Structure 1
Amino acid sequence: MAVVSRRRFLSLAGFASLALAGCQSVSDNTGSGLLSAPTTAVETRALGDVMGQGQVKVALLLPQTGTGAPTATSLRNAAEMALAEFNNPNIQLLVKDDKGTPQGAAEAAQAAINEGAEVILGPLFAQSVAAVGGVARQANVPVIGYSTDASVAGSGVYLLSFPPQGDVERIVEHASQSGRKSFAGLVPDNAYGTVVEAAFKETVARVGGRLVAFERYPADQAGAQAAAKRFAATAGTSADAIFVPGSASVVPGLVQAMTAAGVDTRRAMLLGTGLWDDPALLSSPVMAGARFAGADKAMWQSFSSRYRARYGSDPVRTASLAYDSVTLIAALVQTQGMQRFSPGVLTNSSGFSGVDGLFRFRPNGTIQRGLAVLEVGGGTTRVVAPAPRSFASAGL
């Protein structure tokens, strides 16, 4: 295969940059200015449940049967692509079917450990990650799971995912820095709403803002519309920042109901999370000017283009997690010697950079991402506050 010219970097404080492969030239988004060797794509070999021919065995647990099977195919493809685009990866992926269940995940993890896996990537679901953590801790094998549920992180279990708490913190901080002082929140009455409510209230208090109105809306349309009207009666006159997280199928209707009830969205900034990154929401006229936190799309668009060229279909949005985790592990094997998967290396404060930008693992196993702030308009988004180039430059 041809030499790949695009270079991306994973940075570790005190160590050289770790090269991530790709297909077009971009700058080092850690801002370190460190150099990397040219990266050459190499063919990978898929033999049953094994990919790659390296010496270091790495487990990849995916729900290849049962719930999540379509997603698992896309994640497996992304993992294979990461091997193909990395320069001489010295790893062998042991791909195991976790059957989409905790028991299946625990059995797959034990089988991989018995075969010599030094680190486990996946599973996808929270209960399965918890089950794998129990098995892996006994063998002192770290886990990089793909769940957003922070309750399953810790004690050698790290989560490479898109947790909503990070979105909330970034957008509230941006609103505060933009001069917004009075916050109101209208959140879904479900498990997601519980998570974002806690993060919203905590961050508003931390930035010195005032919470002037708060309401939870139910799943049914009539109940949601009624909640939006009640909310507007208070928030419409007192809030200059209104937080409305939720799906594209619900949020535009809520905003329309609020505006009909007197909320002026030209005065009060509408705030959301990464769930807003959906064509149906971005094309809604009532959402024009609203802002949410998310990854800068440039790297994802490049990744998606390469994925389509290779597999003839679009990747699922979480496919980047498999790509980044495999590339990270390959880079650590290449540069970090026998300490490659130690807590000190995995939780290095400088972090790493991947398809979705800057990220690092906290000692408690949760992930922190460097996010951009995006503004909705004309069916797309524009960056109004770029993602940080490094955690240090962001004061984090």
Structure 2
Amino acid sequence: MFAVLSTARKSITRATAVLSLLALAACDPSMFPATGGFGGPSINTSKPVPVALLVPYESAQEADNGMAQSIENAARMAMADLNGVQIDLRVYPTQGQAEGAQVAAARAVSEGAKIILGPVYGGSAKLAGLSVKDAGVNVLSFSNNTAIAGDNVFVLGSTFDNTADRLVRFAATQGKQRIMIVNALSPAETAGAMAIKGAIARNGASLAAEQSFELSQEDVFNSVQPIASTVRSTGADAIFFTSGNDGAMPLFAQMLPEAGIESPAPQYIGLQRLNVPSSALSLPGLQGSWFAIPDQALAQNFSSRYAASYGQAPHALAGYAYDGIAAIGALVQSGDSQALTAQALTRGSGFVGVNGIFRLNSDGTNQRGLAVATIQDNQVVEIDPAPRAFGGAGF
């Protein structure tokens, strides 16, 4: 299954060695960093701070290795931008597997890491967090899966809850308060629907109706008339779709207008970015739809700088690596030995990353400042800018 058998053998040998080290460490607490009283290890800010980066190098999937390189590149870009803070970045391959991440995290901590950045996948982050929890080391995962957040595991990825909150809050200010949810019966879209329900309850809107469908072209076709009938009977003034353009959304964008249900009456809202891929911008049914996007000025600046340095666009997750290093650097710059504790990581003012402002919550989730955009004349148009500070417009 592995592209190079010798690589797999080396990984197995390394894993066995690290597991042996862990067995010894379990009997000798001094092999782990001392923990502070606020949920994290003490650090010496006068020296380079050891940071472990867990990425899926040595994966059997070539795409994982390319992703890993892009993430590492972005982390090193962030390090170069730090003002007077020295980071000792130590890169650990996970092979793209949960067990690999677990071993890598434990090895990183045994070798002195004070915080872990990564891994990518939710299951990997959960095991990585468990393996270093007793050592008091926090994990900043690139995942957006809130189910694995908590204790010492934080997710940096943009979450359904955050996106739904931003869009429902904006919709309510525009008089679009009776919201119908349309979702596929998949785990991800069901989770998205739950996030929208929570956002509706938190932001003074009302749930007009729900409509779900199986992930098949036939079931999407069959759901169009029931959706149209429900919109008319309930007076819903917005339809919040969990599907993206890689799923059911292009069919809905074509068939619902044919059934007389066309944005902005009711308003189409997408939990996923409806401008991806760029070919979707020309779909007539998506004109006038709403969706959330990162702070475009910051995101485009990062993408341009990355391309100038590495000759290609960054991976979609690369910005989270930059954000993680930026947050660590901002905290370490304070000179506080408790700078990487959970209490410090969850400071209310948050941080500024390449996609805008963000902050980590005590439950391991996050909030990110997002803009609201629409599609007009086949182009993305920002209609409500991303906030530049917490507590202001958009939050």
TM norm. shorter chain > 0.5? yes
Q: 1:93 maps to which residue?
A: 89
Say yes or no: does 1:114 pair with 2:113. no
Percent identity among equivalent residues? 35
Deviation of residue 394 (structure 1)?
Answer: 4.0
Please give the alpha-carbon distance, in whole angstroms, between the structure 2 residues aligned to 1:395 and 1:288: 23
Among candidates 52, 55, 58, match of residue 59 of structure 1: 52
Q: Tell me the amino acid that sits aligned with residue 299 of structure 1.
A: L
Q: Is the 8 A contact 2:102 2:131 kept in 1?
A: yes
Deviation of residue 355 (structure 1)?
Answer: 0.8
Among candidates 245, 259, 263, match of residue 265 of structure 1: 263
Q: Find the residue that maps to 1:335 and give its secondary structure.
A: coil
Distance 1:319 1:380, change over 3 A: farther
Please give the alpha-carbon distance, in whole angstroms, between the structure 1 residues aligned to 2:181 and 2:165: 14
Q: Give the number of aligned pairs.
A: 343
Please give the alpha-carbon distance, in whole angstroms, between the structure 2 residues aligned to 1:336 and 1:365: 24
Say yes or no: does 1:241 pair with 2:238. yes
Distance 1:275 1:192, change over 3 A: farther
1:353-380 CA distance string (max 9 Å, x none):
1111111111111101121111112333
Q: 2:318 maps to which residue?
A: 319
Q: 1:105 maps to which residue?
A: 101
Structure 2 gap segments, 5+ residues each: 1-46
Please give the alpha-carbon distance, in whole angstroms, between the structure 2 residues aligned to 1:352 and 1:342: 15
Provide the TM-score with structure 1 as the length reference: 0.83
Q: Is the 8 A contact 2:243 2:272 kept in 1?
A: no
Q: Is the 8 A contact 1:246 1:276 kept in 2?
A: no
Q: Is the 8 A contact 1:233 1:261 kept in 2?
A: no
1:240-288 CA distance string (max 9 Å, x none):
1111122213312212211111213232111112432411323322111
**1:311-390 matches, cutoff 5 A:** 311-390=310-389
Q: 1:51 maps to which residue?
A: none
Please give the alpha-carbon distance, in whole angstroms, between the structure 2 residues aligned to 1:217 and 1:344: 42
Q: Tell me the amino acid that sits aligned with residue 237 of structure 2.
A: D
Q: Tell me the amino acid that sits aligned with residue 269 of structure 1.
A: Q
Q: Tell me the amino acid that sits aligned with residue 357 of structure 1.
A: G
Provide the TM-score with structure 2 as the length reference: 0.83
Q: Is the 8 A contact 2:183 2:193 kept in 1?
A: yes
1:175-230 CA distance string (max 9 Å, x none):
11111232111112211111111121222233333322211132222221212232
Structure 1 gap segments, 5+ residues each: 1-53
Please give the alpha-carbon distance, in whole angstroms, between the structure 1 residues aligned to 2:238 and 2:394: 24
Q: 1:286 maps to which residue?
A: 285
Among candidates 134, 137, 141, match of residue 137 of structure 2: 141
Mark the structure with the bigger radius of gyration.
2
Q: 2:171 maps to which residue?
A: 175
Please give the alpha-carbon distance, in whole angstroms, between the structure 1 residues aligned to 2:327 and 2:178: 41
Q: CA RMSD in A?
A: 1.7
Q: Is the 8 A contact 2:180 2:210 kept in 1?
A: yes
Deviation of residue 236 (structure 1)?
Answer: 4.2
Please give the alpha-carbon distance, in whole angstroms, between the structure 1 residues aligned to 2:350 and 2:296: 19
Distance 1:336 1:372, change over 3 A: farther
Please give the alpha-carbon distance, in whole angstroms, between the structure 1 residues aligned to 2:217 and 2:315: 28
Please give the alpha-carbon distance, in whole angstroms, between the structure 1 residues aligned to 2:90 and 2:293: 32
Q: Which moved more, 1:77-86 or 1:55-64?
A: 77-86
Q: Tell me the amino acid that sits aligned with residue 184 of structure 2.
A: P
Please give the alpha-carbon distance, in whole angstroms, between the structure 2 residues aligned to 1:85 and 1:148: 25
